[in-house]
Amino acid sequence: MADQAPSSTNGFVISEHTLANGLRVVLSEDHLTPVAAVCLWYDVGSRHEVKGRTGLAHLFEHLMFQGSASVPGNGHFELVQGAGGSLNGTTSFERTNYFETMPAHQVELALWLEADRMGSLLSALDLAGLDNQRAVVKNERRQRYDNVPYGTAFERLVAMAFPEGHPYHHTPIGSMADLDAATLADAQDFFRTYYAPNNAVLSVVGDIDPEQTLAWIEKYFGSIPSHDGKRPPRDGSTIDRDGSAPMRQHLVAEVPSRALMAAYPLPLDGTRESDAADLALTILGSGESSRLYNRLVRHDRSAVGAGFGLLRLSGAPSLGWLDAKTSGDATIEAVEAAVDEELARFAAEGPTDAELERAQAQIEREWLDRLDTVHGRADELCRYAVLFGDPKLLNPALAKVLDVTAEEVRAVAARYLTPDNRAVLTYEPLAPTDADADETEGSNA
Amino acid sequence: MTIAPTMTFHPRPEPGEATPWAFPAPTRSTLPNGLTVLRCDRPGQKLVAVELLLDAPLSAEPAGLDGVATILARAFNEGTETLSAEEFAGELERAGANLDAHADHTTLQLSLEVPASRLERGLTLLADAVRSPALPADEIERLVANRLDEIVHEQANPSRRAAFALYAELFEASDRMSRPRAGTADSVKDIDREAVAAFYAAHVRPATATLVIVGDFSAVDFDAVLGDTLGAWTGTPAPASVAAPVTADDTSRVVIVDRPGSVQTQVLIGRVGPDRHDPSWAAQILGIYCLGGTLTSRLDRVLREEKGYTYGVRAFAQPLRSAPDGRGRAMLAISGSVDTDSTAPALADAWQILRTLAAEGLTDEERDIAVQNLVGVAPLRYETASAVCSTLADQVDQGLPDDYQAQVYRRLAETTTAEATAAAVAAFPPERLVTVLVGDAASITGPLKELGIGEVTVIGA
């Protein structure tokens, strides 16, 4: 077959501007479809939260949809959806983002709305709104974590990987007790501390006239005062352990099968070593030709599914995420021994040329997927601007991954994917599901 | 306390002039082997989306072998006459491609996504998978074992559990629709290579299949590539299958699936109603959007934004079996989860919302905002090749004309408030709804009995 090499490294045209109040603006024009995305990243996430107030950044994100000086109650939703747009916001360890995708002729409305809440949220914020969204967020926590099997695995592993005192020790959803404890004054203080034009990046991508768009941004955002109230997060770039906190937890819980999960601290996102780690995890644990799938699912038949994910973090070690659910009567010990054997073999031998080529092709497709929509591009531009200081890093990003060598992939695995560099969580189902329960556990590895 | 805003405020801006946009029209052709092809060019889309629909509906599964279509769908990824399962997976990944397959009540669908630059390789692998699948006995044995493991996980998941219970309630036991799409432990355990190969031989052929393909084809000789790949697939002719009519028992009742200790109750309220062939479909979409399409719809306005009972509740219509003869139906449902203590209060509010809707109807403002959203959002919704491909495939799947979605947008814009009200009220009559609750029966059963929304039954987890 004579398929040509992919031409996905074409650059996007990107321009950057900074308003007098410090708001950084990134624009990228593309007239393929008559739509435009507005994306606003505030440089605040759960890593900025303090003890006793976990979940506040995310709870606050909900409050940003409860109206502002010129926008009543649910007006942000009503106005955007009534204009044929879609919108949402999300909160992670490192940042909070708000975004609208609009038909191109409605993009000015989205800018007006974002400016209104950046400049005037506190004039609409009240205790009734806080109490309502507190209840909503508690139900979000129940629905996504507490009421589903293995639902709390994420926060348990994160808490082990980043020990007490580390800014990434707790996850963005926060604890029920801390959500209950949040006061209106906390929310107001949070806004005054972190929601300022000089702590945000605004990107607009799609069917836009950049000059006109910039004029609108100046008009709506230009008069919002900047301030320097922000408290930087504690440094999370290294993990200090005194050896007292356990790195392994075993749970007997109401789950359908045994499971082995682990989090491996990896290089910080944005580094060449981090790209190498992405390739290593892809080869080892992504897709049906990966080493772990072949070993555990196809060969040993000890797992229903097995794979690696990557939680990219720029202010703390990223986490390589192992998840294997056992099949039939297979034991955790058997699965863990097989995983360790595969990781050790990979660390010794490195990837084959074919494996590296497949991993690069997969990462390229995922990249195309992410950049396929104006929203995806707007979000990535904000990511590079907020976390790495330069939105134009978007263009060479894929080429950097494709440049990584097999030896670099092997080396990163040898250094980080080891049994002594991980937090481990294992599950045993609470009640026997069938008559096999009395049998002596055997290993089929 | 008051905080004086210090920024300069401006009046809300008016929209500019809209750029005309229309749902893309595909071209339809038939290859010499009988394969129907819908092609849709989307210049600039670097990822090509492909859906191959096979006329292998779940109702064609042999008695007692529920799940054989699903195992076949998964086995398409397990190698061909020239590639082992592992090699096939490797080749797909080398092409940067992704191939998924699943079996549903209407068709068995294979979905391929591949960068435009590697289209030929992607289509070659897809074609090889359907025309000469290896269906290796050992891999099928593994797929069956995997499926049996998967069932245990499905049963532990509250939303899956609710869906299984609702389908079992609504449909006659003899209707394939009443049972899980991918089969039960009882039916799956007996599936072997022979059963999968027999199902393949009986139902997979180009003459009754349709390929939908969407993307940028400027860099490829499209006809040649298609001819060399899926054009080389051969098979005997056969008449297209005919979907059986859908009937359901929507006598109002409440089924509680006990899940002791649940901190939330999964709520699924449903019945069946008009599908896309019904002239009221556009009005039904509009009415259901006003009821529960988004955070500002009637249900969430109360249950989430006033009471805080839930992270969000949605109402929707999802076609089940559909055919031009008009005997198909859609599932009409309201779904969400609420904290355990709020279960009965949330349902009481939901019924009150439905009664108010029936008594007072929708407002013109609600109707206008809904139309503006549903129509206005189309260019966003169809930004990617895969979104366009998936809607075209749904149209094929349900026996709809190729310009159906374009017509829906026209119909929506013409639909009146009264029509939308009538459709929403007809979709969710408070006295004809089956309610499934997956949650802590000990806590919720008592209060539920007092609500008067139907006889309450508790079944074990």
Count the Cβ atoms, other than its own, within 10 Å of residue B429: 15
A229 touches chain B (CB under 8 A): no
Angle subtended at Cα B392 by Cα B386 and Cα B396, rounded to the nearest 5 degrees: 135
Domain A15-221 shares a fold with domain A248-433: yes
Q: What is the CA radius of gyration of chain B?
A: 24
Alpha carbon distance B404, B388 (integer Å)? 12
CATH architecture for residues A248-433: 2-Layer Sandwich (3.30)
Are the C-beta atoms of residues B157 and A144 closer than 8 Å to each other? no
Q: Smallest Cα–Cα separation from A80: which of A33, A123, A112?
A: A112
Distances (CA, A) of B335 to B162, B269, B414, B436, B447: 9, 6, 28, 10, 20
Residues 381-410 of A with CB under 8 A from B: none
Q: To probe the interface with A, which of B3, B47, B159 has the most A CB atoms within 10 Å?
A: B3
Q: What is the pLDDT of residue A3?
A: 36
Q: Which two tokens stand for residue A417?
A: 């994917």
For an interface test with A, the pick among B82, B147, B311, B337 (most A C-beta atoms closer than 10 Å) comes out as: B311
Half-sphere exposure of A184 (CA within 13 A, CB side): 14
Query: In A64-142, where does DSSP find H-type helix?
Result: 75-82, 107-120, 127-141
Distance between CA atoms of residues B349 and B355, nearest Å: 10
Q: pLDDT of A361-371, one tens digit each?
A: 999 999 999 99
- Tokens matching residue B444: 């919720």
C-alpha A343/C-alpha A340 separation (Å) is 5
Predicted pLDDT at A229: 83
What is the 8-class DSSP label of residue A234? P
Question: What CATH code is assigned to B253-459?
Answer: 3.30.830.10
- pLDDT tens-place string over residues B99-152: 999 999 999 999 999 999 999 999 999 999 999 999 999 999 999 999 999 999
**Is A2 a residue whose pLDDT tops 60?**
no
β B264-273/B434-439 pair status:
antiparallel
For residue B446, how many other CB atoms are within 10 A of its CB?
11
Q: Do B337 and A136 touch (CB under 8 A)?
A: no
Compute the nearest-CA separation of A7 from chain B (Å): 8
Which of helix, strand or coil describes residue B15?
Answer: coil
Supply the mean pLDDT for chain A.
93
pLDDT category of residue A438 using cuts at 50, 70 and 90 = very low
Residue B428 · residue B334 · CB < 8 Å? yes
The shortest CB-CB distance from B47 to any of A34, A77, A369 is to A369
Query: Are B370 and B291 within 8 A, CB to CB?
Result: no
Residues β-bridged to residue A251? A427
Q: Profile chain B (461 residues) by mean pLDDT over runs of 10 residues.
A: 70 96 96 98 94 98 98 97 95 96 97 96 98 97 96 95 98 96 97 98 98 96 97 95 93 97 97 97 98 97 97 97 91 98 98 98 97 96 97 96 96 98 98 98 97 96 66
DSSP string over B111-164: EEEEEGGGHHHHHHHHHHHHHSB---HHHHHHHHHHHHHHHHHHHHSHHHHHHH
How would you classify the pairing of strands B36-41 and B27-30?
A: antiparallel
Q: How big is the A-B interface in CB pairs under 8 Å?
A: 251
The predicted model gives A275-293 an average pLDDT of: 96
Provide the residue type at B236 as one letter.
T
Which residue of chain A comes nearest to B77, CA vs CA? A288
Measured CA distances, A363 to A369, A402, A417, B96 (Å): 10, 9, 20, 8
Lookup: tokens for B221: 């000789």
A17-40, pLDDT tens digit by residue? Answer: 999 999 999 999 999 999 999 999
Q: What is the residue-averaged pLDDT of chain B? A: 96
**In chain A, where are the structural domains located?**
15-221, 248-433
Distance CA B119, CA B97 (A): 9
- pLDDT score for A129: 95
Per-residue model confidence as pLDDT tens digits over A291-333? 999 999 999 999 999 999 999 999 999 999 999 999 999 999 9
Say yes or no: domain B27-232 is CATH 1.10.645.10.
no
DSSP secondary structure of B261-328: T-SEEEEEEEEEE--TTSTTHHHHHHHHHHHHTSTTSHHHHHHTTTT--EEEEEEEEEEEE--TTTT-
3-state secondary structure of A377: helix
pLDDT at A200 over 70: yes
Q: Which pairs from B167-171 meet CB under 8 Å and 24+ separation?
A: B169/B249, B169/B253, B169/B255, B169/B434, B169/B436, B170/B248, B170/B249, B170/B250, B170/B270, B170/B271, B170/B272, B170/B434, B171/B246, B171/B247, B171/B248, B171/B249
Distance from CA of B169 to the nearest CA of A (A): 24
> What does the pLDDT look like over B284-336, one tens digit per residue?
999 999 999 999 999 999 999 999 999 999 999 999 999 888 899 999 999 99
Interface test with chain B among A1, A3, A284, by most B beta carbons within 10 Å: A3
Closest chain A C-alpha to B313 CA, distance in angstroms: 12
**Residue B375 phi, psi (nearest 5):** -85, -45
Residue B411 to residue B427: CA distance in whole angstroms: 18
Give CA angle at B311 (B305, B314), nearest 5°.
85
Tell me the pLDDT tens digit for each residue of A48-63.
999 999 999 999 999 9
Helix (H) or strand (E) holding A362: helix A353-371
Say if the Cβ atoms of A327 and B10 lie within 8 Å. Answer: no
Partner B contacted by A248 (CB < 8 A): no
ipTM comes to 0.94
* Of residues B312, B372, B307, B361, the one with CA closest to residue B336: B312
Instruction: Say whether A131 and B308 touch across the interface (CB within 8 A).
Output: yes
Chain B contact for A254, CB < 8 A?
Answer: yes
The pLDDT score that the predictor gives to residue A228 is 86
Q: Is there a common fold for B27-232 and B253-459?
A: yes
Contact status, residue B337 vs residue B320, Cβ threshold 8 Å: no
CB contact under 8 A, B12 and A188: no
Task: Indicate the helix (H) or strand (E) that contains B38.
Answer: strand B36-41
From residue A283, alpha-carbon distances to A290, A325, A356 in Å are: 5, 19, 7
Those residues with Cβ within 8 angstroms of residue A299's Cβ, 6 or more apart along the chain or in another chain: none
- In this structure, which amino acid lies at residue B239? P
pLDDT confidence of residue A433: 47
For chain B, give every domain's residue range: 27-232, 253-459
The answer to whether B308 contacts A134, with C-beta atoms less than 8 Å apart, is: yes
pLDDT per position as a tens digit, A129-173: 999 999 999 999 999 999 999 999 999 999 999 999 999 999 999
* A425 Cβ contact partners less than 8 Å away, ≥ 6 residues apart: A153, A156, A157, A160, A248, A249, A250, A251, A259, A261, A262
**Looking at per-residue confidence, does B326 or A177 come out higher?**
A177
Using one digit for the tens of pLDDT, what is the confidence trace for A66-120? 999 999 999 999 999 999 999 999 999 999 999 999 999 999 999 999 999 999 9
CATH number assigned to the domain covering A15-221 = 3.30.830.10
Cα B377–Cα B108–Cα B75 angle in degrees, nearest 5: 120
Residues A270, A276: Cα–Cα separation, whole Å: 11
- List the Cα angle A115/A230/A238 in 5-degree steps: 120
Contact B361, B418 (CB under 8 A): yes
Mention every residue, 6+ apart, whose C-beta is less than 8 A from residue A224: A21, A23, A115, A118, A119, A196, A197, B7
Residue B153 sits at the chain A interface (C-beta within 8 Å): yes
Residue B335 phi/psi, 5-degree rounding, is -140, 145
For residue B216 the two structure tokens come to 């940028």
Give the span between the Cα atoms of A332 and A427, in whole angstroms: 8
